[in-house]
Amino acid sequence: MSEVQPSVSYSFTMRLYIKNKPGMLAKILSKIADHKADPGAVDVVEVEGEYKIRDLTVSARDEEHSKAIVKAVKAIDGVKVRNVSDRVFLLHLGGKIRIENKVPVDTRDSLSMAYTPGVGRVCEAIAKDKEKVYSLTIKENSVAVVSDGSAVLGLGDIGPEAAMPVMEGKAMLFKEFADVDAYPICLQTQEVDEIVNAVKWMSPGFGGINLEDIGAPRCFEIEEKLKEELDIPVFHDDQHGTAVVALAATINALKVVGKDLSDLRVVIVGVGAAGVAITKILLEAGAKEILCCDRSGIINRDKLDELNSSKQWVAENTNPENLSGSLLDATEDADLLIGVSGPGTVPLEAIEQMADDPIVFALANPVPEIMPEEIQGIARIIATGRSDYPNQINNVLAFPGLFRGALDARATDINEEMKLAAAHAIAECIDHEGLSEEYIVPSVFNKEVVRKVSEEVKNAAYDSGVAQRSQP
């Protein structure tokens, strides 16, 4: 098995007091090389007596690797490690987002217009015509990012407080990529009706609701009830955002290997929120043979009464030959495997027995179902959810543009037509000549992605009849 490469997500900075004599820095860098870590910036802070003080940044594989590197450096004669700072934790100090005023309140006149008494006239105008809340408040550009902390990344049920850094990060991405004002809302409840009511009660201040990191099958019920109750779009990103980008990646991967979606055997590992949504969008896009696997193996129609409602839907709409068996049975001669389960759940043998030119999307985060290093040279195309490997299937390719388009159209829903439009728009951000095994999805920093996705989503909103704003 190949070793996982160092990552900036496990980078740290050591403040080192180093004896001021030739060759000392080389000794330190040699120790770091011995541990197969990745040294970064080396900055001289100052010279103090016989010591030169340096800040040295290093990327490691994980926390244990970081500790081993620090221990090795400490053991060098003439080197003192005075402080070790985890760069990820430093970035999060005090939170990652804040609210800023759009207009200054620095005179009596500005205070009187922005607040009382002037604001009263604006309130009265909205009371007479509630539609004016869109033009006279932040509602038209605001999204609530709502979580109960029950399914955070690959970490599981860690609670609403621990979910806050992720929700803050999501709000950052909304603002950075689509100029949408998003707010992290972490709820101290996992009761379906309580979550529905909480979101319903806060909805007057928002133009859209982004549900995030809520466990299955409750997330399906919460989304369904909110869609019935609200007249603004409700979107569960773990389901639909992942599905949209997975479809975009599939569209382009199939161009590279020269296969057609309708001819594939697709295996989906994990039947939670993302797995079910990916299944639905692939069926919408034309897939015929999909086998979904949970911990018990291939989901089929033999024992429907033992399955929850979402898995019953999967059983009734996939696996046309009603096959049974293990994951290894499912992957035999499969063309595409999509993992949305957990770390290390896919054995090497499963990939080795796939069809020619196998495509593997191992999307569990932060540790994939199988590490790319293990299947290099076996899988033709490999994608993960991580930013430190090629082909990152990242929801940030979808949700900013999806919401930008939905908000611009003042849509009441984000429907299947809008999701399919988003997937094709993402795929088309790479022209055919530019496609390769390591480039099937555009960079999240490609500014064309949000522009194209928002435009196509907005057009689909108008075409499907869910847009409330008059078409220009």
Catalytically annotated residues: 115, 170
* Distance (Å, whole) CA 81 – CA 408: 53
Question: 5 is written with which tokens?
Answer: 């490469």
For residue 123, give the H/E element and its range. helix 118-128
DSSP state at residue 289: E
Question: 126 is written with which tokens?
Answer: 């909205």
* Distance (Å, whole) CA 154 – CA 362: 12
Please choose, from the candidates 53, 46, 44, the residue with its C-alpha nearest in 3D space to the C-alpha of residue 79.
Answer: 53
Provide the CA 387 distance to its chain's centre, in angstroms.
10
Dihedral in degrees, nearest 10, Cα atoms 296, 298, 303, 309: 90
Are 469 and 438 contacting, i.e. CB atoms less than 8 angstroms apart?
no
Neighbouring CB atoms inside 10 A of 180's CB total: 24
Spatial CB neighbours of 353, under 8 Å, sequence gap ≥ 6? 328, 331, 332, 333
* Distance (Å, whole) CA 358 – CA 385: 18
Which amino acid type is present at position 147? Answer: S
Which amino acid type is present at position 44? Answer: V
* Distance (Å, whole) CA 171 – CA 303: 42
For residue 10, give the H/E element and its range. strand 7-19
Pairing mode, strands 265-269 and 289-294: parallel
**Cα–Cα separations (whole angstroms), residue 120 to 101, 134, 214, 411, 427:** 19, 17, 39, 29, 48
Spatial CB neighbours of 54, under 8 Å, sequence gap ≥ 6? 15, 16, 18, 25, 42, 43, 44, 45
* Distance (Å, whole) CA 209 – CA 199: 8
Question: Coil, strand, or helix at residue 448?
Answer: helix
What residues form DSSP beta bridges with 7? 60
